[in-house]
Each structure stands twice: as C-alpha cells, then as structure tokens.
Amino acid sequence: MPTFIPDPNLGMPLVRQFYEALAAQIDKGQLKPGSKLPSVRQQAREAGVSTMTVTNAYGRLVAENYIEARAGSGYYVTSAPPPALQRRKPFVGRTSVDSLWLLQRVYEDDSTLLNAGCGWIRPDWLHIDGVRQALASLARKKSAGLASYGTPQGYLPLRQHIETLLAQRSIQAPAHQIVLTHGASQALAMAGRALLQPRDVALVDAPGSTNFFATLRSLDLRLAGVERRVDGPDVQALEALVQRHRPKVFFTTMHLHNPTGSSCSPTVAYQILRLAEQYDFRIVENDVMAGLEPPGLPNLASLDQLKRVIYVGSFAKTVSPSLRVGFVAASEDVTEKMVYQKMVGSLTSSELSEKLLHSVLVDGNYRSHIHRLAQRLAQAQNDVCDGLEAAGMTLFTRPAGGPFLWAGFPRDIDVQKVAQEAVSEGLLLAPGLLFYPDQRPIPWLRFNVCYANDPTLMRFLRRQVDAGG
C-alpha cells in the first residue's frame, strides 16, 4: 500500500487524517480483506509522525471492525469490513467535559482519543514481564489462593515485604500495622470512614484528585481545599482552615503530587506536622508514586513514625493497575479501625492478587524496573515541559519525575471550551477545574507526560494560545 503522508497544515488532527485515509482505501477496495498493514513503527517512520498517532488511528479502525490485530503478527484488513454508510462516528464532543464525564470515561479504552491528561502510566512502561513470570510461577503451585477468601489484614508475606520496603524509606511499620487493600482508592475511602463522621470537614489538596473528591463526597463529607504551592501545601492557608473548621483529617500527597507533579520540601513537611500536633488532627499521606520520586525527600510518615500520619501506598503506578493491590500503614488503634472498615466493605481483599504481587516484588528484576521507570518518566517530563513552553504554555513547575504536569495558558481563557474543542479533534484534556473541590474555573490543565509528547497536541495548544489563551 502507498504510504499516506498527513498534512500538518490541514487543520485536521493527524490521527483523524490517518483514520479517514485508511478507512477510505478499505471502502474503495484498494486495501483487500486479509491484506497486512505496515507496522506502527514503519508507518510512523515513513510518514514522519509519532507512533502514538498511528497507534490511535489503528485503534479506531480495530474498534470499528475495519482491521484486526493479530498477536505477534500485526494488523490486517478484516474479512468483512463494515459498509461505508455504517462506519466511523465523527470526532465530535460527546457531552460537556465535566467531572462526571471524566469519571465515567477516564478509564475507557477509547483509542480514538489521545488521552493527554489521563491518570495512569503507559502499560508498556510497567512491569508486565514481571507479572507474566509471577503468573506462571504461581500457577505451578498447589496452594495459589484460588479457593480462599484470604485474611482481613491481607497476605502476611506481602505485608512483611512491605514492612521491609517501608523501613528502606525510614518508616517503621510492623506487619501487624499494615492492612492490604483493593488499591489505594479503597485505602483512602477506608480512612475516611474510620476517622470521620458524615458532615465533617475533610481538608484536601487543591488542586487534587477529582476521583478522590468524589469518594469523600460519597461519604457525605464537606471538603475544604488547601492551596498547593511549588514546595507543598500552603502552610498559612492550612493553618487558617484548621482554625476555621477544626478538622480531624488532612488528606495530602507529599511527592509527585497529582495533578501538579510538585514535591514537598522538608521545611514545609515539618511545619505541617507541627500544625497537626498543635491543633490535634491526623494526616493521611497518599504516596502512590513511592520509588519514583527524587532521592532525599522525606515522607511525613518517616518524620512522624505513624503517630498522627496514616500512610497509603499502592503498586498500580509501578507494577500494574490490574492487580489492584494497595496498603495502609498506621498506628495500632487506627489499624484496628481500618480492618473493621475493610471487613464491612469487602470482607477481605484478593489473596490471589496479593500472592501474585508478592512474587513480583521479591523477584530480582523489580528494583531495576523501578530505576528504569523513574528515569523514563524524568526524561518524559523534560521533553513535555520543553514542548509546552514552546507552545506558549506556563508551567507550574518542572517536576523531577512522575507522570503528572500542571500547565496553564498565559492569560484567562475558557478552558472548558478548549477541552470541548479538543475532544472534537481527537484529544482528551483534563481541565483544571476538575481538580478543585469547589470546581473553580482556572486556565490550567493536567498533562500526563506518558502521552502528552505529541506534535498534534502541541500544535492544538499553540493555536489556542495564539487565539487569545
């Protein structure tokens, strides 16, 4: 087949150009059923575009039964492509890009969209080979947890291994003070139920995780946002909110914060703990990026040793989100409350997943994988920061790793309108208002550097800036 060369000056996203051209060739019979398409890398190289552009175009053709992906072989035209009149839905805005829309669609495998603001690390960057090896090893064992509920606190060998990992971060947490959970989301929800009552005020990072805000609201809690600065939570704002609301809990992320990518300085960390002692509130520290942060940054849990800090971790960002294994480490009295909440909500967590994760973690390749992933994310941060600045965007900070990046337009702009227009061009953006508990309109966006290094995205943003952003 002749190589299709897209035109970046056409005013149409490159993904859409590829998709339209290939679909038209199939409709006209120029590409026969059973014929093989060029590989993603070959197509990208010959056309002078990114592999992500070709992957997204191929993905939409697969979704609409134009082509099929054969494992280990490549992409082929299907034996019965759909009639032209029944094919492809247009790239139009599905609905208003609000928090409900994002929550409903953020995890959909929509290959028609470049999900530049999503919350996960690219699957091919994760430790999938380690999971495959662990699966094969676990399948050969007679007692693999295939027919048992497990225990309320979770698989003991995994808790003991987490105890060792936490000790390496200077956090002393015996295995009996660790509770395994169905991901960090369950751990955070359990903390909310264990420590708060309906209509209590919960302090949260602002901006912060829109999914987590929804979780807390489902518990009938009121949210107050502590403004995030480059060096961590604004301590003066935190103290003012504490004096006003007298909260029981502050939920925060110290390092590689979602969505800003920023990390907390030791000075700010000590000031937060001083306020917690002075005003008698607890801190839930969400550290799902552990292992990917720059060396030498202390956690609140290491400074406090779990007296007032409840420490939440996960392996979704470093191993695989499909395992859904997280944990919480806390003082003995809080641990008892967390176990109770876990049993009320789900009895136990999956011992099969916990055994599988334990096998992955004790394998000698896990440590080297974490090192490679941290380096890869740090490089991606540099590349995307350079691209956004070249497009005229303003950076909140240049993160030293992790997947998240916070960038804004140089002047006021209707970001909601921009996000809607982006959807019509095959781009899924994450507007800043989604990450504030009060949904305030601000000209900022969250980017995921695993996906955002794309020329189509940068050209779109440049046009928005030039048009008055």
- Per-residue tokens: 345: 């909500």
Sheet of strand 232-233, all strands in order from the earlier edge strand to the far edge: 178-181, 326-329, 309-314, 282-286, 249-252, 201-206, 222-229, 232-233
Residue 94 lies in a domain: no
Residue 397 lies in a domain: yes
Q: What sign for the dihedral angle of Cα 376, 379, 384, 385?
A: positive
User: The CATH number of the domain where 55 resides is what?
Assistant: 1.10.10.10
On whether the CB atoms of residues 445 and 399 are closer than 8 A, the answer is no
316 and 294, same structural domain? Answer: yes
pLDDT confidence of residue 18: 80
User: The CATH number of the domain where 430 resides is what?
Assistant: 3.90.1150.10
Number of domains in the chain: 3
Between 391 and 46, residue with greater pLDDT: 391
Residue 7 lies in a domain: no
On whether the CB atoms of residues 228 and 397 are closer than 8 A, the answer is no
Range of the structural domain that residue 427 is part of: 99-119+368-466
Instruction: Give the pLDDT mean for 101-114.
Output: 56
The model's confidence at residue 26, banded by pLDDT at 50, 70 and 90, is confident
pLDDT confidence of residue 420: 83
Scanning the structure block, which residue is given the tokens 């080979």? Answer: 129
**Percent of the chain whose predicted confidence (pLDDT) is above 90:** 62
Residue 323 lies in a domain: yes
Among 329, 363, 397, the domain-final residue is: 363
pLDDT confidence of residue 91: 43
110 and 239, same structural domain? Answer: no
353 and 206, same structural domain? Answer: yes
Instruction: Give the pLDDT mean for 182-187.
Output: 96
Residue 96 has pLDDT above 70, yes or no: no
